[in-house]
Amino acid sequence: MRHSWRGVLSALLALSLAVPACAAPVDGETAAARKEDLEFLYQTLERAHPDLFANTPEETFLARKAELTEHLDTASDVEFLFGLQSLAALVGDSHTSVKVADSVVDQLNAYPMVLSWRDGHWYLTTVPAEEQDLLGAEVTAIGGRSMAEVVETFGRVLSADNPVKLRRQYRQVCNVADYYAYLGLAKAGEPLALTLADGKTVSIAPMPYLSLGEAEIVQLGAD
C-alpha cells in the first residue's frame, strides 16, 4: 500500500548529547565557533564520562580531535557534525552521542528506503512506490561492500557498545545519504547501489531529506 514518509521516520535522528553545529558560510567567526563546540564536547566527555578511555586510548581521541580541528574552516555543517559524532563514538558507549541539530537536518539528503534486520539478514522493508517489486528483497552489499562491512563502517560515527546496538543505530539512519558519502561508502548526490541476494544490483536515488514527506512509498506489512 502507498504511504507518504510522514510518520515513518520519526526516530531517524534521535540522539542524546546536544552540541550545536554552525551554519554556512564557513568564515573566521564560524570556524572559531566550531572550535568552541569541539572543545566543549571534548571537555564535557573528560569531565562527565567515567573511565573515558576504557575502550579507546586517549591518544586516539586526541588524534581525532586534532584532525577535526584542521578542517574547521573547510568542512560543511554536515561534515562537522559527523566529525563530532565520530569523536563521541570513540567512547564506545551507547548512551553517549551527539544530537543532530535542526539546522543540519535541513541540509541532509536521504534515500527513500528502509533496511531492516531479520534473522541475520538485511531486507528492504520500505521502498519507493515505483520500485515495489524490491519490497522484501534481501540486501547483501552496498556499494560493493558486504552489509557486515557497511554496518561496521557506520560504527565510526554511531555510538554503540555492542553489535546489536550498532545494528539498531544503523537501521535508524540507514537511508541518510550523507552518512554514506562521509564514510566513503557512496558518492555524494549519486544513487546508492544495492546488491541483492540473487546477485542483481539496483539503485536508489537520493533526495532532500525534507522532501521525504512528499515521497510515495510502499512498506512491508502495511495494510
pLDDT at 221: 73
- Helix or strand (DSSP H, E) at 192: strand 192-196
130 and 217 in contact (C-beta within 8 Å)? no
C-alpha cell at 45: 566527555
- The residue behind cell 510502499 is 218
What is the pLDDT at residue 51?
87
Closest residue by Cα to residue 3 from 114, 177, 128: 128
Q: How many C-alpha atoms does 40 have within 13 Å on its Cβ side? A: 12
Q: DSSP label at 101? A: P
Q: State CA 181 to chain mean position distance.
A: 10
The predicted pLDDT at position 103 comes to: 81
Contact present, 136 and 220 (Cβ < 8 Å)? yes
3 state DSSP class of 193: strand
E strand or H helix that includes residue 35:
helix 28-48
Residue in 90, 91, 106 with CA at minimum distance from that of residue 21: 106
Strand-pairing partners, residue 201, are 195
103 within 8 A of 153, measured Cβ to Cβ: no
Mean pLDDT for each consecutive 10-residue tract of the chain (223 residues)? 35 36 64 94 91 92 96 93 96 88 89 96 96 96 97 97 96 97 96 97 95 91 58
Q: Tell me what pLDDT residue 31 has.
A: 92
Record the cell numbers describing residue 191, joined without a space: 544513487
Contacts of 196 (CB under 8 A, 6+ apart): 134, 137, 138, 139, 140, 202
CA angle 14, 211, 72 (to 5 degrees): 60
pLDDT value of residue 100: 82
Helices and strands (DSSP H and E) totals, the chain: 7, 12
